[in-house]
Amino acid sequence: MRIIFCVTNDISPDRRMHRICQSLQEHGHEVTLVGRKLPKSLPLPDFPFKTKRIKCWFNKGPRFYAEYNIRLFRYLKKQPADVIGAVDYDTLKAVTRACKSTGKKMVFDAHEWFEEVPELEGREKVKKYWMKIAREGLPAAKLRYTVSPSIALKMEELYGTPFDVIRNVPLLQGHEPSAIREDIILYLGVLNQGRGLEQMILAMKEIDAKLWLVGDGDIREELRALASRENLLDKVTFKGFVPHDELPPLLEKARIGINLLDGTSNSYRYSLANKFFDYVHAGLPQVCMDFPEYRRLNQEHHVATLLPDLNQFGLVYAINHFLDDNNYWFTYHATCLRARKDWCWQHEEKKLIALYSKLMR
C-alpha cells in the first residue's frame, strides 16, 4: 500500500511521524512523509521512508496556511498513492480535497486537540474556521486516531466520529539506564507559553541544582532575560535543539524531568506529551501535572509526582524531595525501568499495523 503523510513542520523534529512512517515502511508499505522547507531547515538524515519538503513564500499566519495547502493539494493530486494521511487540522483541507478528487483513502492523525491549543484562546473566529475544516473533513476519513484516550473521547463527542489511540512512546532499547546521576533538572520540549517554564526558573531560587532547558521556541529570549534578571544564569542552561540520537546521554545524566503545563488550555489538560515517556525510558523520575492521562498512567506505574497546579511552594517541595531523599528517588527510578517495558513502541506498533491492515480489506 502506498501511503503519503502530510505535516506542516519541516519533518526533522517530528519523532511521532518518524516512528509511524518507519514502522509502516518496515511492514511492507511504501511511505512518503511530506513537510515544509523552512529558511533554517537542516538536511534530513537518511530515513528508511521517502520524504518531500515544500517551500513557501510565507512561513506563518493565514497566508502560510493558505499557500501551503494550495501547494500541498497540487503535489498530492499528482502522486500515485492509495492512502493520504492528514496530520492535524492544518493539512486537512488539502488532503480532503485531494482524496475527493482522486478517490484515494484518507486517514487523520490528531497530535493535539487543535481547536483548544493556547494560541487560539480568545480567537473565536479562527477557532470556528478550524472546526469547520474538521467537520467537513473528518467524516471522510477511513481511519482516525490521536495521542491519548482523553483527546479521542473529546473529539468523538465533538465530531461524532470514533477515534483510535496511538500513543507517542519510544522504542524500548536493550540498554538499561544507570542510577548514577547529577543534580540536574531537565526540561525536554518546545519553549512556548503555558509550559510552566517561567515558574520553573523562579523556583530555582530555592533549589540547589542545575536546570537544563533542552529545546527551542518562541519564548527562549524571554526566559533567558528572566533568568538574567533573577541572577539565575549560573543555574539555568539553555541547551537549544538537540537531535534525537543525542538525547539519551543528556536524559540519563539528569535526576529529575519536568512536564509542567498550564491547565487553562484543554489541549494541554488532555494531552499526553512525548516527554512523559522519554523521561520514563531514561529512568528519570518526573514532576508533572495531575491531569487525566498522567493520573491514569501513574496509577499503572508510579513514575511521577503529580502537581494539582503550578503553585511555587508545591513545585519547590516536589523537586527538593527527589533531590534530598535518595531512597525516595531510587524507588521512582526503579519503577520507570519496569514501566518502560509496558509503555514502548514495540507494543504500540502492533496497534498501528492492525489499524492500517483494515484499510487493505
> For the whole model, what pTM was predicted?
0.89
- Rounded-to-integer distance, Cα 251 and Cα 277, Å: 12
CA atoms within 13 A on the CB side of 287: 28
- Name 212's bridge partners: 186, 237
Q: What is the pLDDT, as a whole number, of residue 15? A: 87
Query: CA 287 from chain center: how many Å?
Result: 17
Q: What is the pLDDT, as a whole number, of residue 17? A: 95
- What's the whole-number mean pLDDT along residues 238-254? 92
Assigned fold of 2-169+345-358 = Rossmann fold (3.40.50)
CB 44 within 8 A of CB 124: no
Is residue 361 predicted with pLDDT exceeding 80? no
Give the pLDDT confidence of 196-232 residue by residue, as tens digits.
999 999 999 999 999 999 999 889 999 999 999 999 9
Q: What is the pLDDT, as a whole number, of residue 207? A: 98
Give the pLDDT confidence of 84-97 residue by residue, as tens digits.
999 999 999 999 99
Phi then psi dihedrals of residue 102, to 5 deg: -115, -10
Is residue 120 predicted with pLDDT exceeding 70? no
Give the pLDDT confidence of 309-323 residue by residue, as tens digits.
999 999 999 999 999
Q: Domain 184-342: give its CATH architecture.
A: 3-Layer(aba) Sandwich (3.40)
Q: What is the pLDDT, as a whole number, of residue 118? A: 65
Is residue 263 predicted with pLDDT exceeding 80? no
Give the pLDDT confidence of 32-58 residue by residue, as tens digits.
999 999 888 888 889 999 999 999 999
Say what percent of the chain tops pLDDT 90.
76
Q: What is the pLDDT, as a whole number, of residue 13? A: 81
- Rounded-to-integer distance, Cα 40 and Cα 285, Å: 34
Cβ contacts of 139 within 8 Å, gap of 6 or more: 159, 161
- What's the whole-number mean pLDDT along residues 145-153? 92
Q: Do domains 2-169+345-358 and 184-342 have the same CATH topology?
A: yes
Q: Are strands 164-165 and 143-146 parallel, antiparallel or unpaired?
A: parallel
Domains in the chain: boundaries? 2-169+345-358, 184-342
Give the pLDDT confidence of 281-293 residue by residue, as tens digits.
999 999 999 999 9
Q: What is the pLDDT, as a whole number, of residue 201? A: 97
Cell numbers standing for residue 174: 536493550
- What's the whole-number mean pLDDT along residues 184-206? 94
